[in-house]
Amino acid sequence: MIIDKIQKFNLKNKIIVNLVGFTLILFSLIYSVVIPSARDIRAMSKDIEEQRIDLEEKYLKGQSLRQLRENLKQIQPKLDLFDKIFINKNRELEFITTLENEANKAQVSQRINLSAPRAAENQEFQKNNLQLYAQGGFIRQLTYLLNLESLSYYVNVKLLELTLGESVGAAKINFKPPQTSPNQTNNINLSIDADTYWK
């Protein structure tokens, strides 16, 4: 029935009806297929971009983690050495004995004053004041200083004073100095004021 009516149209009307029909079909295809597909493509593009950014961030984190792991392997031996420079809080006697042994090796008399530890805020270590007074010949004092320097402990010397005579600064050392040979120099008094670090 509709086809019969269309066949009765003249050529001009048939062209118009065909164009309108084709346009309606085209718009319905655009509305039902192209627009949703374009929307899906945009959403997928956005998701892909987000995933790309996320993967780049994870890659960079992985790279920095790998670099951190390599750096840690390189500094691990140094960390062990760093732990050795701190004096163990429970081994004060060992530290004092070490100082006495170094004085005996150098053949100098010494007195040790080790103050109570001061805890520093937000730090894992404590700082103690150490005062060493020693008497002996000049060469022996230098040997004693070299021996102290070769210890594995970290000692931050704030004051080092060498004087001639029997007294060291304001304090007197109440002990006999070691016997000196005739070709040895006069007695030298050594005073060291330093900080030690305890963990």
Q: What integer best gives the mean pLDDT of the chain? A: 81
Given the structure tokens 């005062």, which residue do they identify? 131
Claim to verify: residue 78 and residue 168 sit in the same structural domain? no
Task: Tell which of 82, 103, 118 closes a domain.
Answer: 82
Res. 53: pLDDT tops 50: yes
Q: Is 174 helix (H, G, I), strand (E, B) or coil?
A: coil
Res. 172: pLDDT tops 50: no
CA separation for the pair 102, 40 (Å, rounded): 81
Residue 54, pLDDT score: 94
Claim to verify: residue 98 and residue 192 sit in the same structural domain? yes
Cβ–Cβ < 8 Å for 106, 137: no
Claim to verify: residue 9 and residue 69 sit in the same structural domain? yes
Given the structure tokens 């320097």, which residue do they identify? 149
Res. 47: pLDDT tops 60: yes
More confident residue, 197 or 141: 141
**What is the chain's percent helix, strand, coil content, to nearest 5?**
55, 20, 20
Task: Tell which of 82, 98, 131 closes a domain.
Answer: 82
Task: Tell which of 82, 115, 145 closes a domain.
Answer: 82
Q: What is the CATH number of the domain that holds 138?
A: 3.30.70.60
Which residues form the domain of 52?
2-82
Claim to verify: residue 57 and residue 120 sit in the same structural domain? no
Claim to verify: residue 55 and residue 105 sit in the same structural domain? no
Claim to verify: residue 74 and residue 94 sit in the same structural domain? no
Claim to verify: residue 94 and residue 70 sit in the same structural domain? no
Claim to verify: residue 104 and residue 192 sit in the same structural domain? yes
Cβ–Cβ < 8 Å for 87, 198: yes
Claim to verify: residue 8 and residue 66 sit in the same structural domain? yes
Claim to verify: residue 95 and residue 158 sit in the same structural domain? yes
User: What tokens appear for 40 in the block?
Assistant: 């899906």
CA separation for the pair 89, 92 (Å, rounded): 6
What domain count does the chain have?
2
